[in-house]
Amino acid sequence: MIKIFLADDHPVVVQGLSLIFEAQPDFKLLGAATTSDEVVKLINKGAPQAWDVLVLDLDLPPDGGWLVLEQFLERFPVKPVLIYTRKPEKNLAVRALKMGAAGYLSKERSTDELLAAIRVAHDGDYFETPAVAEFLRQQKNAQQGEPHERLTAREFAIFSRFSNGQAPGKIAEALGVQPGTISTYLQRIRGKLGVENNSEITEYAYRVGLRD
Amino acid sequence: MARQFLRPDLPTFADYAAATTRRNVVVMLALVAGGIIAWWPTDRWVFGHDAALVAAFSQWRTAMLTVALTAVLYLWFAARRGWTPWPGYVTAIVGFSALNGWVLAKAGAPDTPWIHSQYVLAPISLMFIVRPLVRGIVIALFVTACLGAYFAFDSSYLHKTGAAFLLSFMTFASLLSLAGGHLLYRLLERDFSRGQALAANNRHLERLVGEQTESLFRLAAGVQETRENDRSQIAKDIHDDQGQYLTALRIHLDWLKNQPSATPERLASFVQTTSHLLEQLNATQRKIIERLEPYDNRLGLATALEILAENWSQDTGIPCQTQISAAANRLPPPLAAPLYRIAGEALTNIAKHAAASRAELSLNNNGNLWRLAISDNGRGLSQQGSGGYGLLNMQARAQALGSALQFKTPADGGCCISLEFSA
B245 to chain A: nearest residue by CA? Answer: A12
Angle (deg, nearest 10), helices A198-207 and A179-193: 50
Quickly state the pLDDT bin for B382 (edges 50, 70, 90): low
Q: What is the pLDDT of residue A163?
A: 86
Amino acid identity for residue B404 in this structure? A
Residues B248-269 have pLDDT tens digits of 999 999 888 888 777 888 889 8
DSSP state, B155?
Answer: G
Residues A48-60 have pLDDT tens digits of 999 999 999 998 8
Residues B312-339, mean pLDDT to the nearest whole number: 91
Residue among A9, A15, A17, A19 with most chain B CBs within 10 A, to mutate:
A19
Amino acid identity for residue A172 in this structure? A
B161 touches chain A (CB under 8 A): no
As a whole number of angstroms, the distance between CA B339 and CA B131 comes to 65
Contacts of B83 (CB under 8 A, 6+ apart): B77
Q: What is the pLDDT of residue A209?
A: 79
A84 has which bridge partners? A105
Q: What is the pLDDT of residue B4?
A: 47
Q: What is the pLDDT of residue B1?
A: 41
Residues B277-297, mean pLDDT to the nearest whole number: 83
DSSP state, B386?
Answer: T
**Most confident of the following: B25-29, B217-221, B353-357:** B25-29
Quickly state the pLDDT bin for B151 (edges 50, 70, 90): low
Residues B399-419, mean pLDDT to the nearest whole number: 86
Length of chain A: 212
Q: What percentage of chain B exceeds 90 in pLDDT?
A: 27
User: Which residues on chain B are in Cβ contact (under 8 Å) with A17?
Assistant: 251
- Name the residue among B337, B345, B312, B340 with its Cα closest to residue B324: B340
Residues B178-206 have pLDDT tens digits of 888 889 899 989 988 898 889 889 999 99
B277 to chain A: nearest residue by CA? Answer: A12
Label residue B404 left, alpha or beta by phi (over 0 means left) and psi (-120 to 50 means alpha): beta
Percent helix, percent strand, percent coil in chain A, to nearest 5: 60, 10, 30
Quickly state the pLDDT bin for B158 (edges 50, 70, 90): low
As a whole number of angstroms, the distance between CA B196 and CA B188 comes to 12
Q: What is the pLDDT of residue B275?
A: 92
Least trusted range by pLDDT, from A27-31, A85-89, A107-111, B200-204: A85-89
Q: Please give the backbone phi and psi of residue B243, each rounded to the nearest 5 degrees, phi first.
A: -60, -45
User: Which residues on chain A are in Cβ contact (under 8 Å) with B245?
Assistant: 12
pLDDT at residue B120 greater than cutoff 70: no
Residues A156-209 have pLDDT tens digits of 888 888 888 888 888 888 888 888 888 888 988 998 888 888 888 888 888 887
B251 touches chain A (CB under 8 A): yes
- Contact between B281 and B246 under an 8 Å Cβ cutoff? The reply is yes
Amino acid identity for residue B216 in this structure? L
pLDDT at residue B115 greater than cutoff 70: no
Q: Shortest CB distance from B248 goes to which of A16, A59, A112? A: A16
User: Which residues on chain B are in Cβ contact (under 8 Å) with A12?
Assistant: 244-245, 247-248, 277, 280
Angle (deg, nearest 10), helices A168-175 and A153-163: 130
Q: Is this prediction's ipTM beyond 0.90?
A: no
- Contact between B344 and B308 under an 8 Å Cβ cutoff? The reply is yes
A192 touches chain B (CB under 8 A): no
Residues B247, A107: C-beta atoms closer than 8 Å: yes
Count CB pairs under 8 A between chains A and B. Answer: 49
Q: What is the pLDDT of residue A56?
A: 96
Residues B73-104 have pLDDT tens digits of 999 999 889 899 989 988 888 888 778 777 87
Cα separation of the two ends of chain A? 39
As a whole number of angstroms, the distance between CA B229 and CA B221 comes to 12
Q: What is the pLDDT of residue A35?
A: 92
Higher local confidence (pLDDT), B373 or B7: B373
Residue among B249, B254, B275, B386 with most chain A CBs within 10 A, to mutate:
B254
pLDDT at residue B2 greater than cutoff 60: no
Decide the pairing of beta strands A53-56 and B359-366. unpaired
pLDDT at residue B5 greater than cutoff 50: no
Q: What is the CA radius of gyration of chain A?
A: 17
User: Which residues on chain B are in Cβ contact (under 8 Å) with A108?
Assistant: 250
As a whole number of angstroms, the distance between CA B272 and CA A112 comes to 23
DSSP state, A210?
Answer: S
Q: What is the pLDDT of residue B323?
A: 95
What's the mean per-residue pLDDT of chain B?
Answer: 83
pLDDT at residue B319 greater than cutoff 80: yes
pLDDT at residue B408 greater than cutoff 90: no
